[in-house]
Amino acid sequence: MPEVSTDSDTADCLFCRIIAGEIPGDFVHQDQRLVAFRDIAPKAPFHVLVAPREHQPHAAASAAADPTIVGELVTAADVVARAEGYDDYRLIFNTGADAGQTVFHTHLHVLAGKLMGEGFA
Ligand code: 5GP
Ligand code: ZN
């Protein structure tokens, strides 16, 4: 299996800059551990990214560095989806470029508001 690409670190990481307020983000939730903000190119009527404040390149690295954080991301995803009336939603972690990851700061996609069926392609 190819190694997961980590072509950005905190200094030049887009999501670190959004979290730091250097680049605008449409935040729907923030706490000491994580933030949630709307995706700039939504793939569904509701498309929010939930990201830990701590920079790690992907979800498994976050889980290794901070064993409770991935559960916290999932809980926050549920809160922000339900806050806008979505009880049903899809959660996605893309890990590695071949899986579609383009921003190498851990983030959980929360998608809702359209019928998504059973496919994943
Ligand atoms: P990935 O492809 O890494 O899983 O997801 C990255 C997501 O970040 C994409 O859905 C993309 O639309 C979103 N994105 C890229 N640049 C920005 C930005 O500057 N602001 C926001 N809010 N989302 C972004
Ligand atoms: Zn980062």
Each of the 121 residues of the chain gets a pLDDT tens digit; together they read 444 544 457 779 999 999 999 999 999 999 999 999 999 999 999 999 999 999 999 999 999 999 999 999 999 999 999 999 999 999 999 999 999 999 999 999 999 999 998 887 7
Domain presence at residue 50:
yes
Residue 1: predicted pLDDT: 41
Domain presence at residue 5:
no
* Residue to substitute in 39, 108, 110 for testing ligand 1 pocket (most ligand atoms within 8 angstroms of CB): 39
Burial of 2 (0-12, 13-18, 19+ CB in 10 A): exposed
| CATH assignment at residue 60 | 3.30.428.10
Query: Could you tell me if the CB of 103 is within 6 A of ligand 1?
Result: yes
CA neighbor of 68 nearest in space, from 32, 38, 116: 32
pTM: 0.93
Domain presence at residue 120:
no
In a 3-state reduction of DSSP, which class is residue 17? helix
* Ligand approaching nearest to the C-alpha of 17: 2
Domain presence at residue 56:
yes
β-bridge mates for residue 38, sequence order: 48
Domain presence at residue 7:
no
* Catalytic residue ranges: 107
Residue 120: predicted pLDDT: 77
Per DSSP (E only), the strands in the chain are 27-30, 34-38, 46-52, 90-92, 108-112
Give the number of domains in the chain. Answer: 1
Atom of ligand 1 nearest to the CA of 102: 3
* Ligand approaching nearest to the C-alpha of 94: 1
Domain presence at residue 6:
no
